[in-house]
């Protein structure tokens, strides 16, 4: 059994014991993983965020070492060697627009966005993800309850207590979203790794940009993907002038 399969087994067992209660299952799963005392399980659990955590730890300490004069700060260089000698590319233009949009719409979401009345910046990821799971479940249940009921009618006049209980059970199960999950994972990995594209990847990125720009009704994820592509493409262009 692989580490991934072992984690899946523990997660399913915790959910079954907790009767689908995610918050209760989290407590049980955490206790089970600690009791297993297997470092490989811990590494598998945090694999997605490990590189980000390492980068964050090194960046924080690098800043301290530079301020203490132990490590010299790098000399600042112009972002673009010669702006007048080459036209602005689509990627650089979108990155500039992104920065302008960010300034115009700037809000401190760490403080302004509340979860259970508390600023999201003060909470742990476990608390936030657990709340997100509950909201997704409740949202699915509300849509199921409204489904099939005529407009301006009371739901209880069309759905029995037994039917409502069945729809609640249906809402407990997370619907499969392989395409969305794969897309989200790919884009977030690209941002977190902050890696330079190679020449072939850059060409593929250009092709993907053309596909997305031809969409007649782009969705939120389409716009986000364009922002991600613009970021990594602009880095490639800056180093291959």
Please give the Cα distance from 124 to 132 (Å, whole number): 13
Assigned token pair, 86: 């080459």
pLDDT, one tens digit per residue, over 177-207 is 555 567 666 776 665 554 567 888 888 889 9
Which pLDDT score is estimated for 241? 65
- Would you call 229 exposed, middle or buried from its count of C-beta atoms within 10 A (0-12, 13-18, 19+)? buried
- Would you call 226 exposed, middle or buried from its count of C-beta atoms within 10 A (0-12, 13-18, 19+)? buried
Q: H or E stretch including 213?
A: helix 199-213
Pick the closest to residue 77 from 238, 193, 229 (CA basis).
238
Pick the closest to residue 54 from 44, 66, 62, 64 (CA basis).
62
pLDDT, one tens digit per residue, over 208-234 is 899 988 988 887 778 878 877 887 788
Helix (H/G/I), strand (E/B), else coil: 236 = helix
Q: Which residue has the higher pLDDT, 10 or 220?
A: 10
Please give the Cα distance from 198 to 184 (Å, whole number): 21
The answer to whether residue 176 scores a pLDDT higher than 70 is: no
Which residues, including other chains, have CB under 8 Å from residue 238's CB and lie 6 or more apart? 79, 80
Per-residue burial over 89-100, b if 16 or more Cβ lie within 10 Å, else e, is: ebbbebbeeeee
Please give the mean pLDDT across all residues of the chain.
78
The answer to whether residue 119 scores a pLDDT higher than 80 is: yes
pLDDT range class, residue 95, cuts 50, 70, 90: confident
Least confident of 8-12, 28-32, 42-46, 191-195: 191-195
pTM given for the model: 0.35
pLDDT range class, residue 79, cuts 50, 70, 90: low
CB of 183 closer than 8 Å to CB of 221: yes
Q: Which residue has the higher pLDDT, 179 or 87?
A: 87
Which of 67-71, 97-101, 155-159 has the highest mean predicted lDDT (pLDDT)? 155-159
Which pLDDT score is estimated for 152? 86
């Amino acid at each position: 059994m692989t580490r991934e399969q072992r984690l899946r087994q523990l997660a399913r067992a915790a959910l079954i014991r907790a009767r689908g209660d995610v918050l209760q299952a989290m407590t049980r799963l955490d206790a089970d993983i600690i009791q297993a005392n297997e470092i490989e399980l811990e590494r598998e659990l945090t694999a997605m965020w490990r590189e980000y955590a390492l980068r964050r730890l090194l960046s924080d300490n690098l800043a301290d070492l530079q301020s203490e004069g132990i490590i010299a700060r790098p000399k600042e260089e112009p972002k673009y060697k010669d702006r007048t000698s080459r036209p602005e590319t689509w990627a650089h233009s979108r990155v500039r627009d992104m920065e302008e949009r960010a300034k115009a719409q700037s809000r401190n979401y760490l403080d302004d966005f509340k979860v259970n009345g508390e600023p999201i910046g003060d909470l742990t990821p476990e608390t936030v993800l657990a709340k997100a799971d509950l909201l997704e479940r409740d949202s699915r249940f509300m849509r199921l309850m409204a489904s099939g009921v005529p407009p301006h009618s009371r739901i209880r006049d069309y759905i029995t207590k037994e039917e409502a209980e069945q729809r609640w059970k249906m809402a407990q199960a997370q619907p499969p979203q392989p395409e969305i999950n794969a897309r989200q994972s790919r884009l977030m990995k690209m941002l977190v790794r902050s890696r330079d594209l190679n020449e072939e990847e850059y060409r593929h990125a250009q092709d993907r940009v053309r596909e997305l720009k031809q969409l007649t009704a782009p969705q939120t994820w389409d716009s986000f993907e364009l922002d991600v592509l613009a970021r990594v493409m602009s880095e490639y262009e800056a180093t291959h002038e």
